[in-house]
Amino acid sequence: MGHAAIIAGQGFNGVSLASILLLTALGLALSFGLMNVINMAHGEMLMVGGYLSFLATKMVHGPLAFPFALLLSFAGAALLGALLEVTVIRWLYGRPLDTLLATWGVSLILQQAARSLFGAIGVEVVAPHWLEGSVSIEHGLLAGLSMPYVRIFIILLTVAVLGLLMVFIARTRWGLYLRAVHQDREMAQALGVNTRWVDLVVFSMGTGVAGLAGAALALIAPVTPTVGQSYVVYAFLVVIVGGLGSLFGTTLAALLVGLFSAGVQMFTSISLADVWLLVLVILFIQFRPKGIIYQRSRAMKEA
């Protein structure tokens, strides 16, 4: 296997990691951009999606098992997100610190629940038959490069989700409401937009997509009670680097972080470094006057 093939292989891994990061980051970016809410339990949505996908493939067999797993992990995480929004987050709007602490509590509860239900050791989701195998290149510069179908599938899934989300935001009535609330919440309300519904729909859509990320992740790594933690750190990083307001920025940032991580082989499970990175990231969002994002929305208002 030549150097070029090794680099291309890491690049490919980086892109598939970026896909999962992007699916995770989209929800964070949406809820922070729209509601100024930092959901510390967002990583657990990924974890929940992973376990739901595991359960789905235990319950259903045959060719429909995996599509069902995707559906269940999206719907389950979206429902859980809706529940979280209605019972906790909605009551803490405008109190970022309380929101942080409360959702952090929720994340611990969810992790503990997963530990009690499934044990601390990870569970594996067996990929469906049609995702077994890989594309291998045998000749030329990239000889020896092998790209597993599961990872190709994860990338395609992400592209599809991104496309659907873009259509949703740009073309639908709810997408219009979302953009309006983002630019001027009060005015949207005064025009008859039920902003509570918009918040709820957007928030649970974001957690649903994170659930989907969990189902995707389950194809390539075991699902553990803390699996969300290790990914959400990077997802936060993606949100900060990418800023909000544009899916493009988030996508670009996800690619950057994904390729970077693959490059330095950071693809390990949680370590203290991850925890510290998370702390740093949170401090950054909290105290660096709302970061890149806030200035953007200000600029929008003044434009």
Chosen residue from 190, 265, 272, 289 binding another protein by CB under 8 A: 190
Q: Give the nearer residue to another protein in terms of CB position, either 176 or 256.
A: 176
Residue 153 binds to another protein (criterion: CB under 8 A)? no
**Cβ(40)–Cβ(103) under 8 Å?**
yes
Distance CA 266, CA 277 (A): 13
Least CB distance to another protein at residue 53 (A): 37
Q: Give the nearer residue to another protein in terms of CB position, either 128 or 249.
A: 249
Residue 184 binds to another protein (criterion: CB under 8 A)? yes
Distance CA 16, CA 254 (A): 10
Distance CA 8, CA 259 (A): 11
Residue 176 binds to another protein (criterion: CB under 8 A)? yes
**Cβ count near 242 (within 10 Å):** 25
Stretch that binds another protein, among 116-124, 127-135, 194-202, 279-287 (CB under 8 A): 194-202
Q: Give the nearer residue to another protein in terms of CB position, either 87 or 246.
A: 246
Residue 303 binds to another protein (criterion: CB under 8 A)? yes
Distance CA 234, CA 254 (A): 9
Containing 214, the helix (H) or strand (E) segment is helix 195-218
Distance CA 152, CA 303 (A): 41
* Interior angle at CA 276, CA 270 and CA 281, nearest 5: 110
Stretch that binds another protein, among 77-85, 152-160, 170-178, 274-282 (CB under 8 A): 170-178
Q: Give the nearer residue to another protein in terms of CB position, either 126 or 180.
A: 180
Stretch that binds another protein, among 113-121, 131-139, 148-156, 183-191 (CB under 8 A): 183-191
Containing 289, the helix (H) or strand (E) segment is none
Query: Residue type for 180, please?
Result: A
**Cβ(206)–Cβ(30) under 8 Å?**
yes
Residue 86 binds to another protein (criterion: CB under 8 A)? no
Stretch that binds another protein, among 40-48, 188-196, 234-242, 256-264 (CB under 8 A): 188-196
Distance CA 225, CA 127 (A): 20
Least CB distance to another protein at residue 302 (A): 8
Chosen residue from 36, 146, 189, 286 binding another protein by CB under 8 A: 189
Q: Helix or strand or coil: residue 27? A: helix
Chosen residue from 192, 265, 272, 287 binding another protein by CB under 8 A: 192
Q: Give the nearer residue to another protein in terms of CB position, either 138 or 302.
A: 302
Chosen residue from 183, 241, 256, 286 binding another protein by CB under 8 A: 183
Q: Which of 21, 62, 31 lies closest to 257 in space, CA to CA?
A: 21
Distance CA 263, CA 179 (A): 36
Q: What are the residues binding another protein (CB under 8 A)? A: 173, 176-177, 179-180, 183-184, 186-196, 300-303
